Amino acid sequence: MLSPNDSPTQILLVEGPDDKHVISHICREAGYIQNFFIQDKGGIDKLLDSIGAEIMAPGRKVVGVVADANSQPMDRWQSLVGRFSKENISIPRQPDSQGTILIGPPRIGIWLMPDNSQFGELEHFVAEMIPDADPVWPRSQQYIDDIPKSEREFTEQKIMRAKVHSWLATRKEPGFLGQAI
């Protein structure tokens, strides 16, 4: 795997460490040789702020962006449209359902978690990979649903995150989201 010191020609910008971990595991499980660097930007604001510098990096051939749609996918998309427009790069008014690809240079790819159209985040994407026959998944969901709203430490927007992490806690080796892959 590449490091930022290698001045990679191909980079994938993600919001946080869970995104990085999940994507690395997906590549590994799919048998894909990861010839790009995944950069955890420490949140959406820092990711957006870094786009210009990453696009302009010497030798940069490919820049990918993975961001959570959260509760308002079009609002998130518009924030990306605005940021890319500052670099004189026009991206479509709506995300492509298969992933938005712009022929560069550099070539640019953009994906909104979980599926480029619906609200959600990384955990919604991961939840879709949990096997339907998994006997613990319904119990993990029910566990979270049974916590009275007045006692929850998480917001309604983060309920899927709580459910997925509850499910992960039941694994033989509880750990990062990527281990769910």
CA pair distance 177, 162, nearest whole angstrom: 12
Query: What local confidence, expressed as pLDDT, does residue 52 receive?
Result: 96
The CATH 3.40.50 portion of the chain extends over: 4-113
Query: What local confidence, expressed as pLDDT, does residue 42 receive?
Result: 97
User: Regarding beta strands 100-102 and 62-68, do their DSSP bridges make them parallel or antiparallel, or are they unpaired?
Assistant: unpaired
Task: Give per-10-residue mean pLDDT for the chain (181 aa).
Answer: 66 96 92 91 97 95 96 95 95 94 94 94 94 96 97 94 93 70 58
Query: What local confidence, expressed as pLDDT, does residue 138 receive?
Result: 98
CATH architecture under which domain 4-113 falls? 3-Layer(aba) Sandwich (3.40)
Query: What local confidence, expressed as pLDDT, does residue 104 receive?
Result: 82
Query: What local confidence, expressed as pLDDT, does residue 176 receive?
Result: 67
Query: What local confidence, expressed as pLDDT, does residue 178 receive?
Result: 60
Contact 27, 34 (CB under 8 A): yes
Contact 85, 93 (CB under 8 A): no
Which pTM does this prediction carry? Answer: 0.88
From the CB of residue 79, how many other CB atoms can be counted at a distance below 10 Å?
A: 16
Query: What local confidence, expressed as pLDDT, does residue 177 receive?
Result: 66
CA pair distance 47, 98, nearest whole angstrom: 22
